[in-house]
Amino acid sequence: MSECNFYRNLWWDKGEFSEKAKWEEVALPYVLATGVTIEEYEQRTEEFSVRGCWEWREGKVIIYEFPSVPHEVCISAIVEEINDSCRGARRTNARIMGFGAARTRDVNRGKEADSSFRLDKPPVTPPNGSDRNDFPWPNIVVEVAYSESLDHVEEALCYWLSPGRAHDCIIVKIDPVPRGEVPVRMRVSYIYAV
């Protein structure tokens, strides 16, 4: 195993995101581990607090995004706008609850949104829930793509908007920002509607 691979494997083995892994040389999506059960994947993501970077697909742990300041700033700005818009419904039966990066799964895939929101809903008929049991799917999903590919953005859109899942999906793709800078203004250059 090369030294880079050793340090890359530390993210899965110990939750260590090392610069010695030379992540800047990695093309995404990147297979971090294989032969992993969904339960093991969920346990590791919880233990290492990995949110919005990994997903599980057919026994593989796949990195599709790297942690970055522009990514987190954009998520926070969108969540703040949604929370402000829903403030009038607080403490009513119409309230919209934030579920953050709630874990979801289908037959072949485990995925977390960057943020999610839903109404107070009754349980659904198993196995149609977002947990493959009875937990309802979110109404609104927020995904921000910074280092991930446009192909992955399309896959995410298909995942969230498959029949019986989320009602709406907000996906923002951020072009690379020069190191040390934080975007202060964004321009919409691509809108995808279903």
Domain boundaries, given as residue ranges, for the chain: 3-63, 69-173
CATH class of 69-173: alpha beta
| % of the chain at pLDDT higher than 70 | 93
CB burial of residue 120 (10 Å; 0-12, 13-18, 19+): exposed
Phi, psi of 27, rounded to the nearest 5 degrees: -90, 135
Q: Measuring CA to CA, which residue among 57, 31, 45 is closest to residue 101?
A: 45
pLDDT surpassing 50 at residue 194: no
pLDDT surpassing 80 at residue 188: no
Q: Residue 174's pLDDT band (boundaries 50, 70, 90)? A: confident
Q: Residue 108's pLDDT band (boundaries 50, 70, 90)? A: confident
Mean pLDDT of the chain: 88
The whole-number pLDDT of residue 161 equals 93
Cα Rg, the chain, nearest whole Å = 17
CA distance linking residue 3 with residue 9, whole number of Å? 10
Q: Coil, strand, or helix at residue 57?
A: strand
**Lowest-pLDDT choice from 2-6, 32-36, 57-61:** 2-6
pLDDT surpassing 80 at residue 51: no
**Lowest-pLDDT choice from 3-17, 47-61, 174-188:** 174-188
The whole-number pLDDT of residue 186 equals 63
